[in-house]
Amino acid sequence: MISCLIVDDEQSAIDILRTFVAQTPFLTLAGSTTNPVEALTLLQQQPIDLLFLDIHMPQLSGLDVMRLRKGSTKVILTTAYSEFAVESFELDALDYLLKPIAFERFLKAAQKALNTSLEPSPRWQAEEKAADYIFVKTESKGKMTKINFDDIIYVEGMKNYVSINTADEHIVTLLNIKDLEERLPARQFMRVHKSYLVSLSKIQALDGNQILFKGMKAYVPLGDTYRTAFFDALQEKVMGSKK
């Protein structure tokens, strides 16, 4: 059973969702509230698998709740506004339901929750099931681009922006390098400097504290703080190394 919490500032919307939950055999209702602050408190007090969350609410928006929530609770957004779809998926919303919500569409979203592992798991296990790409916003307003993990050579952090470098392009997007590091698979990518992430499989050579890549004149510096962990990660690949 998937335990769920409904959060909406309109009681009529809550009543509809409560009816839908009752008609869905694998959902159980943990509670409902019109107050987003109370919702955050409830999430801290009891384990809840799934949140049906409105976007436009007083005090805190649904997107604010998503940013502030802790734990592994998944979110399905319920809203009358379509313009927040891109931002919601950047915050890892499981689905985005536009009001008025038909039961058939609700059930499809609930089924998606059922098919998703809702239990916390080690990061590497989660990566086995994760997508091998991300979408990021570009400098062109309203445009997003898909980036395959296998295409990334290295990432450079620039304050609130990152430059994602592939063999063909440099994509600048408004992201924090730490947040991107958490999204990329740890066995494939590694932090080698406070401002750089590299794809281990794309490394061509090491020259002192410089990491070089095939076909690229650019290099990435290896920071002293990251040096030991970096060579530990490469230990099995180094010929003639002594353990």
Q: What does the mean pLDDT of the chain come to? A: 84
**Number of domains forming the structure of the chain:** 2
CA gap 180, 196 in Å, rounded? 11
Residue 58 lies in a domain: yes
Residue 100 lies in a domain: yes
CA gap 238, 141 in Å, rounded? 45
Q: What's the CATH number where 57 sits?
A: 3.40.50.2300
Is the same domain home to 206 and 112?
no
pLDDT at 122 over 80: no
pLDDT at 30 over 70: yes
Give the model confidence (pLDDT) of 11-28 as tens digits. Answer: 999 999 999 999 998 999
CA gap 164, 231 in Å, rounded? 23
First to last CA, the chain: 49
Is the same domain home to 177 and 147?
yes
Comparison of pLDDT for 140 and 12, the residue scoring more: 12
61 in Cβ contact with 84 (< 8 Å): no
The mean pLDDT value for 27-47 works out to 91
Give the model confidence (pLDDT) of 44-83 as tens digits. Answer: 888 899 999 999 888 888 888 888 887 778 999 998 877 6
Is the same domain home to 52 and 150?
no
Most confident segment among 141-150, 215-224, 226-235: 215-224
Is the same domain home to 9 and 90?
yes
Residue 42 lies in a domain: yes
What is the percent of the chain with per-residue pLDDT over 90, rounded to a whole number?
42
CA gap 137, 191 in Å, rounded? 22
Sort residue 31 into left (φ over 0), alpha (ψ -120 to 50) or beta: left
- Which two structure tokens, joined as six digits, stand for 197? 């992430």
Q: Which domain holds residue 88?
A: 2-120
**Listed range (37-41, 111-115, 118-122, 161-165) with the worst mean pLDDT:** 118-122
- Which two structure tokens, joined as six digits, stand for 8? 């909406």
pLDDT at 7 over 90: yes
pLDDT at 140 over 50: yes
Residue 223 lies in a domain: yes
Q: What's the CATH number where 170 sits?
A: 2.40.50.1020
Comparison of pLDDT for 34 and 67, the residue scoring more: 34
Residue 41 lies in a domain: yes
